[in-house]
Amino acid sequence: MKSGTSALMRPSATARVLAVPELLDNVFSFLARHDAAHASQVSRDWVEIGRDHVWRVVHTPCQLFSILSPIEHDPQYGHIFAESVTEKSLSHFLLITRRVRELYSLSSQDECDKTDNDIMLAFNEEFFSQLNMTLHSRQQLLFPRLATLRWWDSYVSPSKWPWFGSTMLNDISLISPHCCSEKDLIHFLPTLVPSTETITFVTSPENEERSFAVEVETVDAGWPQFFKDLDKLKYLFFPVNFVTSPVFAQASTSSSLTHLKFFAPTDPRAIVRNRRNITHFPHPSLEPGCFPALRNLELAIPLSAAINLVRDDNFPAPQLEELGLRAVHAEPESIVRSAIAELAKLAGLHILRLQLASHRSYDEPEEYSQELEDCYSERAEDGNRALSLLWSSGCTPLLSERLCAATLSSLHGAHLFLLDIAHRHSIHINDDDLVELVQALPELFILSLNPAPVCIGKATLTLAVLDRLAGIRPSLEIVRLYIDATLNDDEDIPSPTNQFEWTVRSLWLNASPIAESEDKQRKIASYLRLLLPDGINLDTGTLGGAGGSKMYFWDHVPPVNVDYSERWRRVADMVEELRDVDDEDESVLEPTPNVEKVE
């Protein structure tokens, strides 16, 4: 690969614009010299604190490394270092890098406006190789106090990143490079971050199909040493297709692991269909005393395997506080009911998430011809609407798969704080059933009951259930439901007699069918204005994960019907308008203070 030092050479005297952190650092340096002349120890201490804070968090590594060498922003090769590393420049640079506690690249909140940082290493191999050798000869680390690393480099193997290593590094998030196999990554991580407490391994957005189609058996052999060497590891988040029985059994030997999550991205079209390796999950061989610290577990396995796991005397199910299960194929309602019944017995379980597949599941969009998709796209205003139409098309669920109130009845009396259930089709549960369920969960304050089914079907809940929920549990913080708000002609909505408390953070109904008529929408707005406390309105944002978050629980977030979403947004605007009118009326009715006229 073309190196940075040979690609573009520029004289060192070339003027460059200082980044804000570097400029502030120079200001603090001047203040330090000025204070030294006046022998003010207190002032010098404050200056040093300020300098330390300037580089504590770095979101644009190109700005930081430009202190070591001038950088040219080449349109083809990205960031190119124009000079070699010198002893003088490195000594100055190390005084700054010792202050860095958090280092980010790519997809950060403050990405470089010139070009992405994800190929900075790849097109400067010679430069960073020289830097690495110089550090090695001096027996120094580049970031000795680095604690958090989010480094996404798509083209360079982490085996070439030893200058990131630090005994203080306890939180690391890496992307899968194109050139690096998962097997190599697993073998190298213990060397790179021997003392880390958190590892998040994210699949490259540009290379998802390759990574998610990996034969996980090829990496199984590396896990025993992985868990043995990382004896401080508490949080492990890995792609969903990495979970196999051997991997799970090896993870159970970790004495420090508290959170184990095999997660998946949110793209519903291509990635999930490559989960071919996880539909088979033989019962893992677990030893007595396994997972001594485990509290949070998320897996994508058949529900029958999950039932057997919970029933295993060696598995510490009673100590679980949070559990997430993703079905990997269609499950009959009877199996879902059995799984929920087993989980309901776990007295310590406070958070339960279930994402359930269906007989006609994720492959359906592929079954449509390109001509049909093009037809939808031509009629649609944008691609989102076309995708929404594709995903909303479907059929009635098989009777053996249809979820209903009885499916959830065994949860009554559980100590759940959060209940999050997703299914392809809407759950057949009426207002009375839902009220009974919430009453039977006395500690529940977050409820997400399949608010965005993939196939738009009949909603069995009504607007009236919101009033009843506010009556029995006004302290609910998040409510996400799929309700029928279409309203019949001349149908009036009774004014709510209850109101949620100020603790409510989100009422999400965006995927629910809603009336098209403006008059009916205004009736709904009047109802919600009384139901929600002042300052709180409908949550009209995207359902968590739809924005591309790689860490959200669901591996499918179906596009919400565009028409419904727009109507709910209009209702939210109407709620604000009604409140503004109320405020104006109150200001008019306020008595004018009596002011005696002074003669």
- Predicted confidence at residue 475, as pLDDT, reads 96
- Predicted confidence at residue 56, as pLDDT, reads 85
- Predicted confidence at residue 240, as pLDDT, reads 65
Cα separation, 236 vs 252, in Å, equals: 12
Containing 562, the helix (H) or strand (E) segment is helix 562-589
Yes or no: say if 415 and 445 are a contact pair by the CB < 8 Å rule. no
Burial class (CB in 10 A: 0-12, 13-18, 19+), 131: buried
Nearest to 387 by CA among 400, 399, 373: 373
Cα separation, 559 vs 75, in Å, equals: 35
Nearest to 117 by CA among 66, 53, 172, 180: 66
Cα separation, 55 vs 64, in Å, equals: 8
Q: Which residues of the chain have pLDDT under 50?
A: 1-17, 36-37, 39, 42, 107-109, 111, 206-216, 265-275, 360-394, 545-555, 595, 597-599
Cα separation, 161 vs 177, in Å, equals: 12
Cα separation, 22 vs 18, in Å, equals: 6
Q: For the chain, what are the domain ranges?
A: 1-145, 363-394, 395-585
- Predicted confidence at residue 400, as pLDDT, reads 80
Q: What helix, strand, coil percent values describe the chain, rounded to 5?
A: 40, 15, 50
Helix (H, G, I), strand (E, B) or coil at 319: helix
Tell me, what DSSP letter sits at residue 284?
P
The model's pTM is 0.78
Phi, psi of 356 (to 5 degrees): -110, 135
